[in-house]
């Protein structure tokens, strides 16, 4: 409990900053959308003049600009990128930051087992993600209420989409942690998390562009594709791959951490 509280206090401010930024992003995008939706037909025509590849790159193919949820789906993709970076930051930094700053010597010399340290840290990270999650839920309903300009929308697909945030972030958290334990040292978290997030995002886009399914299969952006979820009120079956990745990464992390040699300062 003491480690959890310590980690929670240390992580609260970054979590609040992330949450506020993502909420702001939601608000700004949706405010643009309200002006677009009034000229949906014109916009659709304009977009059809763009090369298909460009639309794919920004997730703007097969979307329904006329409906407010259609626009929400597009905007949600940008949210997903931020959510993924936040989660990957947590994952890559979870145990590596203490090693990098050599405070691991302090913590691991205390009478506490490594699995317990990791569990406490994971729970603290999950708390941070839950805060963000709550803010995105609230932010989504608020912005939709403000900018739907009287248009009704279906609630069910929206709820299913918002429920995908947690597993989506968990994928990046657990994979990030797993990778951080496979390498000798993570000197700086940000390049790793950016690499992971944009890596799989681009994979998804490329897969879509060249019609290569195998590339999409490994991208969580495909597993939790907002346009698909909103259109079908269900997750793509590929989402199971993400769930499997979470389980494998978590189990692997526990195993690797229990065996890890902690580098000393000198």
User: Which residues of this chain interact with other proteins, rule CB under 8 A?
Assistant: 2, 6, 10, 101-106, 108-113, 116, 259, 261-262, 264-266
d(CA 252, CA 3): 22
61 vs 114 by CB, closer to other proteins: 114
Closest CA to 208 of 77, 55, 84, 82: 55
What six digits make up the tokens of 194? 């950016």
The minimum distance between CB 104 and other proteins, in angstroms, equals 8
What six digits make up the tokens of 102? 């050599």
The minimum distance between CB 114 and other proteins, in angstroms, equals 9
The minimum distance between CB 100 and other proteins, in angstroms, equals 10
d(CA 224, CA 198): 15
The minimum distance between CB 116 and other proteins, in angstroms, equals 8
The minimum distance between CB 22 and other proteins, in angstroms, equals 24
Contact 68, 154 (CB under 8 A): no
Q: What is the largest CA-CA distance in the chain?
A: 66
120 vs 133 by CB, closer to other proteins: 120
51 vs 111 by CB, closer to other proteins: 111
- Cα distances (Å, whole numbers) of residue 230 to 111, 198, 255: 49, 23, 38
64 vs 105 by CB, closer to other proteins: 105
What six digits make up the tokens of 1? 């409990």
110 vs 185 by CB, closer to other proteins: 110
Rounded to 5°, the CA angle 247-249-252 comes to 105
41 vs 112 by CB, closer to other proteins: 112
The minimum distance between CB 256 and other proteins, in angstroms, equals 12
Closest CA to 117 of 10, 258, 245, 252: 258
What six digits make up the tokens of 90? 């947590």
């Amino acid at each position: 409990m003491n480690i959890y509280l310590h980690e929670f206090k240390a992580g609260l401010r970054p979590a609040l900053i992330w949450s506020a930024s993502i909420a702001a992003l939601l608000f700004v995008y949706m405010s643009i959308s309200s002006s677009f939706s009034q000229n949906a037909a014109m916009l659709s025509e304009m977009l059809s003049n763009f090369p298909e590849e460009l639309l794919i790159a920004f997730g703007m193919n097969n979307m329904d600009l006329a409906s407010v949820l259609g626009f929400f789906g597009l905007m949600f993709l940008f949210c997903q990128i931020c959510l993924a970076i936040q989660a990957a930051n947590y994952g890559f930094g979870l145990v590596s930051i203490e090693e990098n700053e050599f405070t691991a010597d302090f913590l691991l010399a205390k009478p506490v087992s490594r699995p317990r340290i990791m569990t406490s840290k994971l729970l603290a990270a999950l708390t941070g993600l839950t805060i963000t999650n709550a803010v995105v839920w609230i932010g989504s309903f608020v912005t939709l209420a403000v900018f739907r300009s009287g248009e009704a929308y279906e609630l069910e697909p929206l709820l299913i989409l918002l429920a995908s945030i947690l597993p989506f972030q968990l994928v990046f958290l657990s994979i990030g942690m797993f990778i951080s334990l496979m390498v000798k040292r993570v000197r700086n978290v940000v390049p790793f998390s950016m690499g992971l997030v944009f890596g799989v995002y681009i994979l998804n886009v490329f897969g879509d562009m060249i019609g290569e399914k195998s590339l999409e299969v490994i991208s969580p952006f495909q597993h939790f594709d907002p346009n698909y979820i909103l259109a079908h009120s269900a997750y793509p079956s590929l989402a199971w791959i993400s769930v499997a990745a979470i389980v494998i990464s978590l189990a692997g992390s526990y195993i690797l951490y229990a065996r890890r040699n902690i580098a000393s300062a000198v």
